[in-house]
A and B are shown apart, each in its own frame.
Chain A
Amino acid sequence: MKKKNKRLLNILVYLMLFTIGCLILLMNLRDNLVFFYSPSEVFQKNLDPTNKIRVGGMVKKTSLKKEVKKIKGRSLEQISFVITDFNNEIKVSYIGILPDLFKEGQGVVVEGFITSNGMFNAKTVLAKHDENYMPPEIKDIKSIKENNNGI
């Protein structure tokens, strides 16, 4: 074999070994690399309630409630909604400003703690955007179609 072809082969073999190594590493770190857990994973894993975690899913339709509460002399708006992954759901309470894209039926990621009564006390709410981009008119046509199919 020519010397330069041998060098090429060397590089490719090293690269392949390195890739396999990295893959093994990433597969084992999977739990630490996810940005958020789904509600089902939260129940499966029995997570430590003192740790800050992130939970993501869909905001369940007609679950969003806002009520004004007196906390420490100030009247604040307590927001509560349900996050679902269509298998399990988790109830979230939050005090603060919601992002503009926050809507029922849309994706959301919340960061905070699980309280003793199973509620999730969110410190941050992030809206998750999906990969669909379309003008408002087309969205209207699509939602009408979906509604008709539903009937």
Chain B
Amino acid sequence: MIFKFANPLKFQRFTKQIQPFALSLSIIFLFFGLFFGFFRSPPDYLQGETVRIMYIHVPCAWFSLMIYSVIAMCSIFSIAFKHTLADIISRSCAPIGACFTLATLVTGSIWGKPTWGTWWVWDARLTSELILLIFYISLIIINNAYENKEKGDRYAAILAIIGIINLPIIKWSVDWWSTLHQPASISKLSSPSIDNSMLVPLFIMTFSLFFFFISVLLLRIRGEIIQRKIDVIKFSHVR
């Protein structure tokens, strides 16, 4: 099943069929998410209306970590098994992940000013998330630094594997060290400490951003495969 789609050309055809569905699901969920977020959910007892920033901040933060894990797994796969599709996926993921990370930092900053009384502090959670952004930007730079795409893919994959260590640090920074950032409200082991009326828009927005990620990713993968085809034609012409 996996190896059927592991052929880049077959995968390209598959993305073309799936991408419009993902995009329309994202738009539908976005509509409902914003509606529930703005009109059908209560203000917080302490933060007031500022709590609504959470509906965009939290999903962005989740996906900034998830997309990096995708890149990391593809990088291990790429170095061990040398498969082109893994390179294509991690190359396509990096800018999307960078955008989600930037959105996390910016929305968090906008929330932090009225809540904490500061735009930015150097606590463990905020700093490790900033380091994640730096990793993403480095991956994009390395991917595009070499004329030879294979070289760029390989060096970026090595950096991505080194960056894996940052993921658990971001996730558990709030438990390991005292930070200004609050600990996670939603975890597997205990019931969420967010009221149900606020969980609804949060999860709808998460679905929306998930399908948005999928649709942009498929679009970028398709572009990347076409680009590689063009490169092959160009270089064979030169020879």
Contacts and interface: CB of A to CB of B under 8 A. Distances in A.
Interface of A: 4-5, 7-8, 11-12, 15, 18-19, 22, 26, 30, 33-38, 56, 98-103, 106, 109, 124-139
Interface string B25-53: 00000000000000000111111000100
B80 A131 contact: no
B183 interface: yes
Contact of A4 (B82, B122, B164, B180): B82
B179 interface: yes
Contact of A134 (B44, B123, B183): B44
A126 B82 CA distance: 50
B17 interface: no
Interface string B175-189: 011111011110000
Report, as a range, how many residues of chain B touch the other chain. 35 or more
Given A56-B178, A129-B46, A15 B195 contact: no
Interface of B: 42-47, 51, 54, 76, 79-82, 114-118, 121-124, 161-162, 164-165, 169, 176-180, 182-185, 193-195, 197-198
Contacts of B164: 15
Name A's interface SS.
mixed
Contact of B51 (A4, A26, A133, A137): A133
Given A15-B164, A34-B177, A132-B193, A127 B43 contact: no
